[in-house]
């Protein structure tokens, strides 16, 4: 379990909405963000959402500015999943991570992003942010109305990931096997395909060459096509080296050797030069013999040239026909041979697949039954926990249940064998109804908050952000919410934008957002509050414009009670 971690370290914003420039340092535990209505408290959350890959609009750029810049730095000590992602995507830069985004006033098309100084896509930003931040917005409870989201939440609450994987694996493989069986089962007449493959293989086996054989053919064709030029050139070389003329190279070398021998007898210093001439004479003699043999062996047979050209033409024809380079025709033949063997052995393969499909169905049924039992137990526990929280949140006598409906399907489902529905009764004596059918917006907000509080901290994400999820509540209920968030702050880094003094008093740290204007432009300021300033801010939240001695005393008591 984590203890007072800090993952989000700093947030820098420039020319963003009505923020000129601000840099915020974040503390551990629960940090509350307060300010007067309209001061721009939620801009911090908006900035983090954009750094998490959210779509940007041109309006986020401060009026009169060309671009907005957002930068967040994160410590990765408590983020193994983020570290793994950064390494896999080659963005790793040690123990810290920086997300940066620049948005020009033309809108989202002019947005650019970086991870650790390297250009990144918004998809990559979003994927990384999933392991860095968990952001709960004001309207997040709408997601809880979807049955798919409810099932995902129940599985997360019960830590069913391993059991879900055990269900999904045979279900996916069953679908693969079933698809292969349908392809082989006679829904299609394979005789025409078998005949075509037979014909293609005869043709390929007769003409296709290995890459080495193809190189040899091309070399032979090149030699045959240029035989006349090669014969003429090699004959001229032979004449130059040792022809009938008095001035051939070998005769000249011989005369030089004789003269050097005579001179070396007079001065031994010419011995090395004579040795070099001797070696040159030997090598030129060997070259002359090679050229003569090459000339005599040259083939001017036009029939062999025509045969080579016909073979190359056929290979090009087969290359176009099978849409592969000529050097890959042998490999193409082997692939077609494997397909032919599969089609001819379809009956035997079907028997093997049928046995595998039956086994997979048994594996799936066993895994799904185990998951169903776990979901039933988790549903009872979640119902009990949320019901208790509803009472704490001012809905005494209300009841929360998770209805599980068995679904009979002809094929295995990777999500298991049931659907679920969140049911709620807001008042005593009322029958439970589907959460999505609850009429009162205030009731839905509080019930959703109870569900969220009951399921907080289920994952390993160390930083959680809440944007006025406490709207619509007050009094003792607000204090309970604040206490829950503070307890969560003992294990996670929590940032909460709130308008409630009861929640603000529970913070381990406190940021205040204030708006000012000089008549020409509007600016907001963000400051960390020390003890006295924090008391004054909570008193303002309690008493409005006029802060009395009583509201100051009440604020002090709230802070002392929070600890």
Give the tens place of pLDDT for each residue, 485-531: 888 888 888 899 988 899 999 999 999 988 877 767 777 888 899 98
Q: Which of 39, 57, 49 is nearest to 13 (CA)?
A: 49
Pairing of strands 493-497, 509-517: unpaired
> HSE-up of 4 (CA within 13 Å, CB side)?
5
Pairing of strands 133-136, 30-34: unpaired
pLDDT at 162 exceeding the cut of 70: yes
- Residue 322 belongs to a domain: yes
CA distance 476 to 468: 17
- Residue 50 belongs to a domain: yes
- The pLDDT value given to residue 189: 62
Highest mean pLDDT among 244-248, 400-404, 430-434: 400-404
Domain co-membership, 211 together with 334: yes
Domain co-membership, 198 together with 317: yes
- The pLDDT value given to residue 413: 94
Burial of 549 (0-12, 13-18, 19+ CB in 10 A): exposed
Domain co-membership, 91 together with 204: no
- Residue 449 belongs to a domain: no
- Residue 473 belongs to a domain: yes
Give the residue from 321, 344, 367 where a domain finishes.
344
- Residue 421 belongs to a domain: no
Segment 178-201 shows an average pLDDT of: 79
Asked if 13 and 70 count as a contact pair (C-beta separation under 8 A), the reply is yes
Domain co-membership, 206 together with 110: no
Domain co-membership, 217 together with 124: no
Domain that holds residue 499: 1-132+461-529
Question: Which tens digits make up the pLDDT trace of 34-66?
Answer: 988 777 788 888 899 999 988 887 678 988 888
CA distance 373 to 376: 5
Task: Report the domain count for the chain.
Answer: 2
Domain co-membership, 7 together with 105: yes
Which residues touch 464 (CB under 8 Å, ≥6 apart)? 133, 134, 135, 136, 456, 457, 488, 492, 493, 494, 495
CA distance 68 to 87: 29
pLDDT at 17 exceeding the cut of 80: yes
- Residue 390 belongs to a domain: no
- Residue 28 belongs to a domain: yes
Give the residue from 325, 344, 363 where a domain finishes.
344
CA distance 505 to 538: 7
Domain co-membership, 196 together with 340: yes
Domain co-membership, 30 together with 103: yes
pLDDT at 439 exceeding the cut of 60: no
Domain co-membership, 128 together with 208: no
Give the residue from 302, 320, 344 where a domain finishes.
344
Domain co-membership, 110 together with 245: no
- Residue 112 belongs to a domain: yes
Q: What is the CATH number of the domain that holds 493?
A: 3.40.50.300
CA distance 278 to 282: 6
Rounded to the nearest 10°, the torsion over CA 237, 238, 241, 247 is -90
pTM of the prediction?
A: 0.60
Burial of 393 (0-12, 13-18, 19+ CB in 10 A): buried
CA distance 450 to 364: 34
- The pLDDT value given to residue 365: 95
Domain co-membership, 128 together with 200: no
Sign of CA dihedral 56, 59, 61, 67: positive
Question: Which tens digits make up the pLDDT trace of 283-321?
Answer: 988 888 898 888 877 777 788 888 888 888 899 999 999
Query: Which pLDDT band holds residue 186 (cuts at 50, 70, 90)?
Result: low
Instruction: Please state, rounded to an integer, the average pLDDT across all residues of the chain.
Output: 85
Domain co-membership, 7 together with 103: yes
């Amino acid at each position: 379990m984590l203890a007072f971690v800090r993952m989000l370290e700093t947030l820098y914003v420039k020319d963003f909405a009505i923020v000129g420039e601000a840099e915020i340092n974040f503390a551990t535990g629960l940090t509350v963000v307060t300010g007067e209505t309209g001061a721009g408290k939620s801009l911090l959350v908006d900035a983090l959402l954009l750094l998490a890959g959210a779509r940007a609009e041109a309006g986020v750029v401060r009026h009169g500015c060309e671009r907005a810049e957002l930068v967040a730095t994160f410590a990765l000590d408590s983020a193994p999943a983020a570290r793994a992602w950064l390494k896999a995507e080659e963005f790793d830069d040690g123990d810290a991570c920086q997300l940066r985004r620049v948005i020009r006033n033309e809108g989202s098309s002019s947005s650019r992003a970086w991870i650790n100084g390297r250009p990144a896509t918004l998809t990559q930003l979003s994927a990384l942010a999933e392991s860095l931040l968990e952001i709960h917005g004001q309207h997040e409870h709408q997601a809880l109305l979807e049955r798919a989201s409810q099932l995902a939440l129940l599985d997360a609450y019960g830590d069913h990931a391993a059991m879900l994987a055990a269900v999904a694996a045979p279900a996916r493989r069953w679908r693969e096997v079933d698809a292969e069986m349908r392809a082989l089962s006679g829904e299609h007449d394979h005789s025409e395909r078998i005949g075509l493959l037979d014909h293609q293989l005869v043709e390929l086996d007769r003409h296709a060459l290995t890459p080495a054989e193809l190189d040899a053919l091309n070399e032979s064709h090149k030699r045959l096509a240029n035989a006349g030029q090669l014969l003429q050139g090699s004959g001229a070389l032979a004449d130059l080296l040792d022809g009938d003329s008095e001035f051939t190279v070998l005769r000249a070398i011989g005369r030089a050797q004789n003269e050097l021998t005579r001179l070396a007898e007079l001065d031994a210093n010419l011995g090395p030069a004579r040795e070099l001439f001797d070696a040159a004479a030997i090598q030129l003699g060997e070259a002359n013999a090679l050229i003569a043999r090459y000339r005599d062996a040259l083939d001017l047979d036009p029939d062999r040239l025509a045969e080579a050209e016909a073979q190359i033409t056929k290979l090009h024809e087969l290359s176009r026909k099978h849409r592969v380079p000529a050097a890959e025709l042998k490999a193409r033949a082997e692939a077609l041979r494997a397909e032919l063997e599969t089609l001819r052995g379809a009956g035997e393969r079907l028997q093997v697949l049928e046995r595998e499909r039956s086994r997979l169905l048994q594996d799936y049924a066993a895994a799904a039954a185990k998951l169903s039992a776990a979901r039933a137990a988790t549903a009872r526990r979640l119902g009990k926990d949320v019901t208790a929280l509803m009472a704490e949140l001012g809905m005494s006598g209300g009841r929360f249940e998770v209805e599980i409906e068995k679904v009979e399907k002809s094929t295995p489902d990777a999500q298991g064998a049931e659907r679920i529905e969140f049911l709620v009764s807001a008042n005593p004596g009322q029958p439970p109804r589907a959460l999505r059918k609850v009429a009162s917006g205030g009731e839905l907000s509080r019930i959703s908050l109870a569900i969220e509080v009951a399921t907080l901290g289920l994952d390993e994400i160390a930083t959680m952000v809440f944007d006025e999820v406490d709207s619509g509540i007050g009094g003792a209920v607000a204090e309970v919410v604040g206490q829950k968030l503070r307890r969560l702050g003992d294990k996670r880094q929590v940032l909460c934008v709130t308008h409630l003094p009861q929640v603000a008093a529970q913070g381990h740290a406190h940021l205040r957002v204030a708006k000012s204007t000089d008549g020409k432009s509007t600016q907001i300021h963000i400051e960390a509050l020390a003890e006295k300033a924090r008391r004054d801010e909570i008193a303002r939240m309690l008493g409005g414009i006029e802060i009395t001695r009583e509201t100051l005393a009440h604020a002090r008591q709230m802070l002392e009670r929070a600890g």
